[in-house]
Structure 1
Amino acid sequence: MNKLHKLASLALISTVIVGCSSSPSEPEKTPTPTEPTTPPISESDRYQAERYDIKEDLAPKEPMSVEHIDEIVPQYEPYSLGGTKNYTVRGQRYQIIKDPKGFKEKGQASWYGKKFHGHLTSIGEVYDMYSMSAAHKELPLPSYVKVTNTDNGKSTIVRVNDRGPFHPGRIIDLSYAAATKLDVIHTGTANVEIEVITPEKPQSEHQQKTLPKYQIQVASSPHKDRVETLAQDLSQKLSVPSFVGSDQEIHRVLLGPFDDYNLTQNALEQVKLLGYSSAFIRKN
């Protein structure tokens, strides 16, 4: 491979969109008669192989208890710019659903965990396997979805902020926490039905003030000392109250509470500017 070809390959790798199961990318280049007849490893596969420290996905060493997993309360969020763009994976074009209100779908759910923990999702947020999140191929990001495991009747709500799963028959990839909540961890996959929840945008100051108080969850970790340090640091930098919410082995950095939704949104934007792109708003 000559120098020009190497530079072109590196440029292509840098444009790959990040995803949970397979990164959205442009179709592979068709070999010309002067190139080797043996199909090369795709740039997408090479990128994935180099990007993750763990080759095969797995759960944390210690099982997670479902009792302390918080339910997400859907909040109005504008869609991200990248979360509304059509894209291509493995030669297949995916069209984003423009109006997902009332959208329902049945199929199989899978889950993803430690291999992807701490890496970026498709819209640039940090994947946290202990958060109630998920990946979907065609919903605008972020979206809120009610997921029901039709094998056992259990249901929960997740925030969709990633792309995938790119496997036949699978319609949603659950975070480790969400999969634990629905008892999908041991089975690996489960039959599910999903339904999009579309929160209404607050229209007036009066409506915003009548809503419950809000908190911002910044991060979660099993290391309490690190979480406490981060909570103090953010409180000083942003001049907002902070505290640590602990449930068994998991500790969360929480900011607030806030009475006004707009103020909460402003604080969330500041938090994300500091690098905590997976932070989200939740009700008290």
Structure 2
Amino acid sequence: MRLWLALSLTLLVSACATTTPVTTPDSGQSPSQAGNGAPGSDRYAHDQDTAPMERRDVASLPEPTPKQEAPSRYGNPKTYSVWGKTYHVLPSAKGYVAEGTASWYGQKFHGYRTSSGEPFDMYRFTAAHRTLPLPTYARVTNLDNGKSLVVRINDRGPFHDDRLIDLSWAAAVRLGIEQHGTGHVRVEALSGTDSPAEQPSSTVPTAVRAAVDSPPPSSTLFLQAGAFQTQAAAQRMQMKLRTELGVASQIRNNEQGLFLVWLGPYRNDSERQQARTRVSQAGFDSPMPVSP
């Protein structure tokens, strides 16, 4: 988890969802629009991404079955650009295997259109990838715990260089990644999507997910919410901040062997100070500004 834009060969991309919310069959709800003044922020009902308020049991949810599907008309341009970086969509998923960091997305994008034109449903096993053809079926394996799951990739993202794939909330729960926020995974494309992707004309409208809703990877402005001697304690703090405030966070190590909970990154110091005030007003200790 909008107005469709007619894009040129070099796409100016703003987000995966159109400004018009789409009601999904499962939720029965259409998110309202709200904005905080940031470019593109009025396209979503929520400023921050969170887990769903209604936590459904996904343990018995069936995995998608790989099958041959027609390429998405909207989701497979030859190239597109986000934050000044150009991505080249692969003509085929055949033989694709990669390892890297998985993150996840949920409530903020639920019900809005993905890059393939379908509504994002955080209760289904889907994912976002920068370059695989849409749709692609892939097996994602959490290398930290051995759990494995088939997902259907129908969206673009994540646009941080240190991340490989964005999982739906349900997929993250099933793989044991939700509470940690990220996980080390292997992504293997499955044979249902080996056919070449249909390449659209230069005027075909495309949406690409969430580029304006997170700061560029180059940002170095963070807040430190805590320092802990154990990773488990840091993860508890991270989860509490995510659950209560929906803030983006990560855990880092310092030279003293402590586990640091960092919030951000932020686009500018004003945004960072606003986040610091919000965290303090919510009853947490006031976080300190830090930079890598």
Q: Distance in 1 between matches of 2:180 and 2:134?
A: 27
**2:103 paired with 1:110:** yes
* TM-score normalised according to structure 2 size: 0.53
The corresponding residue for 2:66 is 74
The corresponding residue for 2:252 is none
Q: Distance in 2 between matches of 1:192 and 1:20?
A: 23
Post-superposition offset of 1:191: 0.3
Post-superposition offset of 1:103: 0.3
**2:116 paired with 1:136:** no
* Equivalence map 1:211-226=2 (5 Å): none
**CA separation of 1:164/1:105 partners in 2, compared to 1, >3 Å: closer, same or farther?**
same
**CA offsets per residue over residues 69-119 of structure 1, 9 Å max, x none?**
211111110111222211000100000111220101110000000000000
The corresponding residue for 1:92 is 85
Q: Distance in 1 between matches of 2:14 and 2:126?
A: 16
Provide the aligned C-alpha RMSD in A: 2.5
Tell me the number of residue pairs that the alignment of Structure 1 and Structure 2 aligns: 168
**CA separation of 1:185/1:191 partners in 2, compared to 1, >3 Å: closer, same or farther?**
same
The corresponding residue for 2:44 is 52
Does the 8 A contact of 2:137 with 2:193 survive in 1? no
**CA separation of 1:135/1:19 partners in 2, compared to 1, >3 Å: closer, same or farther?**
farther
Once the two structures are aligned, what percentage of the paired residues are identical?
A: 44
**CA separation of 1:115/1:64 partners in 2, compared to 1, >3 Å: closer, same or farther?**
same
Does the 8 A contact of 1:117 with 1:127 survive in 2? yes
- The amino acid of 1:161's aligned partner reads N
The corresponding residue for 1:160 is 153
**CA separation of 1:19/1:148 partners in 2, compared to 1, >3 Å: closer, same or farther?**
farther
Post-superposition offset of 1:65: 2.3
Q: Distance in 1 between matches of 2:120 and 2:4?
A: 24
Q: Distance in 1 between matches of 2:44 and 2:146?
A: 34
Uncovered stretches (5+) of structure 1, i.e. residues with no partner: 1-10, 22-44, 202-284
The corresponding residue for 2:172 is 179
Q: Distance in 2 between matches of 1:193 and 1:169?
A: 14
**CA offsets per residue over residues 206-252 of structure 1, 9 Å max, x none?**
xxxxxxxxxxxxxxxxxxxxxxxxxxxxxxxxxxxxxxxxxxxxxxx
Uncovered stretches (5+) of structure 2, i.e. residues with no partner: 18-37, 195-292
**CA separation of 1:89/1:196 partners in 2, compared to 1, >3 Å: closer, same or farther?**
same
Does the 8 A contact of 1:97 with 1:139 survive in 2? yes
Does the 8 A contact of 2:89 with 2:132 survive in 1? yes
Q: Distance in 2 between matches of 1:183 and 1:52?
A: 27
State the structure with bigger RCO (CA 8 A, min sep 6), 1 or 2. 2
Q: Distance in 2 between matches of 1:82 and 1:12?
A: 10
Q: Distance in 1 between matches of 2:91 and 2:4?
A: 28
Query: Which of the residues 196, 199, 203 maps onto 2:189?
Result: 196
**CA offsets per residue over residues 43-85 of structure 1, 9 Å max, x none?**
xx612x1101100000112433232221111111011122221
Larger radius of gyration: 1
